Amino acid sequence: MRKQILLTTGIAALIGLGGCDAQNAPKDATSSTAVTQSIALPAGINKLATVTKTEGEIVIPFNKYVLDNGLTIVLHPDNSDPLVHVDITYHVGSGREEPGKSGFAHFFEHMMFQGSENVADEQHFGLITESGGTLNGSTNTDRTNYYETVPSNQLERMLWLESDRMGFFLDAVTKEKFENQRETVKNERGQNYDNRPYGLLRERVGEALYPEGHPYSWSTIGYIEDLNRANLNDLKKFFLRWYGPNNATLTIGGDMDEAQTLAWVKKYFGGIPRGPEVNKPEYTKVTLDQDRYISMQDNVSLPLVYMAFPTVHANHPDEAPLDVLMSIMGSGKTSLLYKNMVKNGKAVQANAGHSCGEIACQFSLLALPAPGNTLTELETIIRASLDEFESRGGATDDDLERVKAGIISGMVYGLESVAGKVSQLAAYETYRSNPDGISDDIARYENITKDDVMRVYKAYIKDKHSVVMSIVPKGQPDSVVKADTWQRYERNIPETTDETSLVLRPGVSDFDRSVIPSPGKNPSIKVPDIYRVEMKNGVSVLGAVNDEVPTTTIQVSIPAGQTHEVIDKLGLASLTASMLGENTLQSSAEELSNELQKLGSNVYFGAGEKFTTLRIRTLSKNLDPTLAIAMEQLTSPKFDEADFERLKKQQIEGLKNAKKNASPMATEIFNKLVFGFDNSFSYSNNGTIATVEKLTLEDVKAFYGSNYGPANAEVIVVSDLDSAIITERLEVLNNWKGQSSPVAAVKAFPELAAGTLYFIDKPDAAQSEIRIGKRAMNYDATGEYYRADLMNYNLGGAFNSRINLNLREDKGYTYGARSFFSGNDFRGVYRAQAGVRADTTADSILQFRNEINAFRETGMTDQELAFMKSAIGQRDARAYETPNQKLSFLSEIMTYGLDKTFVDEQNAILADIGKAELNSLAAKHLKLDEMITVVVGDKAKVMESLKPMFENIVELDENGKPL
């Protein structure tokens, strides 16, 4: 999991591993700033605490209540946007599972979306999507939560939905639903673990780090054999044990009438009986008697070494100083691992982490070697870096200042959305029995001393044993750090002896639950006010005020993207952007990183198709020094040869790693076939291995000199500061000088060999990646492009679209399937895609074809038309809440020369469009005989089943060239 208040980088950037959800473990509840509230409470609801906010205080105001059945209710009224976010968190995750029954908590999360006694199969998704909302659920080691963000008039309906699956679920569970979701979970494991480079790292480390039977010794997704062994009765028992209201927290934030909300909560949840009592998990210290070296061969391009030490548990007094140690060792360019491994080119990536759960934490150090270096050498450097921390005297004043600034800024950024605030409240209540945890967190980190950090280093790391994992490319077993000293055990699966029948807890209601609550009056939605400014050097500025939080986000779009590259220098725009994050003529990259971290600010450069983007995020009080750093990086890069060689190697290794991942490979090869191998934007932003290997520092300097001027640059700003203040602060842009060059001409697109299957072999792939499509219209906010997007919504644009319901929900072939139109001002595409279980590849393609063809021939139904209009017509209620959402809105206006009234034009089109026009667009744009198919999969497993489906099959290599 990620730290809730510390941003740790991990290895996601290169190897694609995401963390589990943030969480905090429980501690004694304390009440804060209690005040009297005047609303009358419904019978059966008691008030426990109120927290208010004073000026300048970092706190989330809330009122906390409890129902007689034990359901905890936390309400955070916030009428700044016409939406509500509803979260219900159950205090059960994979850490509550029994040996041999791994994956149950996550499996159950899937099952909870399959309908309940009064909610039909798929109706949960349908009702929320139709309401203009979004929804999901997630599971980690210690909790499962379900959440939705909807227009505020839909709140009652959300409470009806959530209460029905809490209290009226089991009678709706069927064998068919059970088997379908079992297959979906298997597909999720295949896509995110088995079929992903380094995807089994955490599972293998957990097995070695924790004793057999420890609930953290298996991954949240669980083992396939345990999922196969599970039966419907097991699932029902799990529900009855853990899904009672007394083990749940209902948290609601947003635009609500609190008295009415409580009345609805009482109505819908009050008749659900308590479940069994739930005790908090007990912490047992984990120790290792020796270093455990483990290894595995994987389909990767670079080996990896990962070292994990057992430490404490979340909210233990030593957790916070261990987090500081983590930051010193391996967070960013100020860290020891960066200095000793990345800066000198010995590793392409090196990080530290301290992941925590309720009953255990682990301190980790990770590195991927640059070519020419070995895992054994990196392990030696890691251990020497730990020694260096001690020999230099431990933590410095700068270290503590950086971490503490990161805490404060992270807290503030987390307040930018209602969903973020609700998530914080729900986590604090679940793990600490007190939603008001922010002040405690700030205090515990601000009180850390240098002695604390040295103390925990000596207590948990120095001379302590760890798990050391090597992941090496297949066929290279000798490149591990050391031969394995610990072997995976044959798991001891207990005999199932509990034959007791289920004791149900039927809920009661004094109203007709089968009646879906009607939504209230649609909320009034206001598009953000915008302002325009022209700087003296011609830079255009478009801005909007967001006065809910004291933050500023700035995006500078410089016409220096892929479209300015020549085809033999692919990746140059990306490499140049990376160089701007390194040394400048005035400062080292480490000095700038140190200052930014102490400001709690982020400055990022990245290249896309048309633009290189400079992204700035800061607390508004720190805007001036943050802008000064950003402008220093933009206008006076040093272009150091050592930086160039290091970043070039990293880019090449990233490209090699991407070749091991079937999903991006399939998409890139599809783009090359559709838009041509001689158009730069057909390729990954990072170019190709062959072109990047030939790039020189002089190429970077020339690209920068030709493209990084202010001409045609665009700036968008979202801030709590008004336009006058922003204009004054942005005066620094007038010091920006430089040249710009025209976009390279788009080469003619190739003629598609429609009906052809292009196949790329990926031996041993657990899944096949499928792409079906063709070129389509360029972007047009209010033209045929927009109308075609409306047409596709029911076919493949929503979770409960025809394609996804068929391939995921009905067949269980995939974790998700979609189709969409995508375009800009010079290219457009229509594509349907999914990663599917290997043995279903041929039938998945057939199902795609059947759905696309049926939609083209018969069009949508009246019900689908109404659904699409309702869903899209109401989703603007959540479109402009956060700074990032406002930034996206401004970017669309700026990039395509729109006025903000384009939203009104779109709404008018949506209201007036009918089936005839939409079905005509389907007939025009969904012609299968104009489309190609790309599959990346295991030829040995799937080719024979594909041959009867295609007259023309072309086998390609990993670069898209014919074999």
For the stretch 887-943, pLDDT in tens is: 999 999 999 999 999 999 999 999 999 999 999 999 999 999 999 999 999 999 999
- The string of pLDDT tens digits covering residues 445-472 is 999 999 999 999 999 999 999 999 999 9
pLDDT for 196 equals 86
pLDDT for 122 equals 85
How many Å apart are CA 751 and CA 454, to the nearest integer? Answer: 65
The 3-state DSSP composition of the chain as helix, strand, coil percent (nearest 5) reads 45, 20, 40
- The string of pLDDT tens digits covering residues 704-720 is 999 999 999 999 999 99
Res. 37 pLDDT band, cuts 50 70 90:
low
Task: Tell me the mean pLDDT in the region 190-211.
Answer: 92
- The string of pLDDT tens digits covering residues 647-675 is 999 999 999 988 989 999 999 999 999 99
Share of the chain above pLDDT 90, in %: 81
pLDDT for 4 equals 38
Cβ neighbours for 658, distance < 8 A, ≥ 6 positions apart = 664, 665, 684, 686
For residue 1, is pLDDT > 70?
Answer: no
Tokens 């959440």 label which residue? Answer: 147
- The string of pLDDT tens digits covering residues 329-348 is 999 999 999 999 999 999 99
* Full 3-state SS string of 145-156: EEEEEEEHHHHH
Task: Report which of 288, 308, 311 is spatially closest to residue 455, judged by C-alpha positions.
Answer: 311
CB atoms within 10 A of CB 243: 22
For residue 13, is pLDDT > 70?
Answer: no
pLDDT for 439 equals 86
Cβ neighbours for 225, distance < 8 A, ≥ 6 positions apart = none
For residue 22, is pLDDT > 80?
Answer: no
Res. 497 pLDDT band, cuts 50 70 90:
low
How many Å apart are CA 795 and CA 860, to the nearest integer? Answer: 8
pLDDT for 66 equals 98
Lowest-confidence pick of 22-26, 415-419, 573-577: 22-26
Res. 785 pLDDT band, cuts 50 70 90:
very high
In angstroms, how far is the first alpha carbon of the chain from the final one? 43
Which residue segments constitute the domains of the chain, with CATH numbers given?
12-21+283-418+431-479 (3.30.830.10), 45-269 (3.30.830.10), 531-735 (3.30.830.10), 757-956 (3.30.830.10)
Mean pLDDT of all residues belonging to the chain: 92
For residue 25, is pLDDT > 60?
Answer: no
What φ, ψ does residue 66 adopt, rounded to 5°?
Answer: -140, 140
Cβ-in-10-Å burial (0-12, 13-18, 19+) of 676 comes to middle
For residue 171, is pLDDT > 80?
Answer: yes
For residue 305, is pLDDT > 50?
Answer: yes
How many Å apart are CA 299 and CA 474, to the nearest integer? Answer: 6
Task: Tell me the mean pLDDT in the region 3-27.
Answer: 36
- The string of pLDDT tens digits covering residues 380-428 is 999 999 999 999 999 999 999 998 898 889 888 989 999 999 999 999 9
Task: Tell me the mean pLDDT in the region 563-574.
Answer: 96
Paired sense of beta strands 551-558 and 714-719, if any: antiparallel
- The string of pLDDT tens digits covering residues 64-93 is 999 999 999 999 999 999 999 999 999 999
For residue 364, is pLDDT > 90?
Answer: yes
- The string of pLDDT tens digits covering residues 852-897 is 999 999 999 999 999 999 999 988 888 899 999 999 999 999 999 9
Both tokens of 871, joined, read 């869903």
Task: Report which of 105, 102, 101 is spatially closest to residue 21, judged by C-alpha positions.
Answer: 105
Beta bridge partners of 834: 770, 817
Instruction: Report CA 186 to chain centroid distance, whole Å.
Output: 20
User: What Rg, from alpha-carbon coordinates, does the chain have?
Assistant: 28
Better-predicted residue by pLDDT, 49 or 492: 49
For residue 216, is pLDDT > 60?
Answer: yes
Please, what is the Cα angle at 45 between 42 and 46, to 5 degrees?
Answer: 120
Contact predicate 737/709, CB 8 Å: yes
Structure pTM?
A: 0.92
Q: How many CA atoms lie within 13 A of 317 on its CB side?
A: 5
What φ, ψ does residue 62 adopt, rounded to 5°?
Answer: -160, 165
Lowest-confidence pick of 35-39, 799-803, 805-809: 35-39
DSSP 879: S
Both tokens of 896, joined, read 């395509």
Res. 57 pLDDT band, cuts 50 70 90:
confident
Res. 21 pLDDT band, cuts 50 70 90:
very low
pLDDT for 501 equals 67
Task: Report which of 908, 885, 867, 924 is spatially closest to residue 782, judged by C-alpha positions.
Answer: 908
User: Is the sign of the CA dihedral 793, 796, 800, 802 positive or negative?
Assistant: positive
pLDDT for 862 equals 96
What φ, ψ does residue 912 adopt, rounded to 5°?
Answer: -95, -25
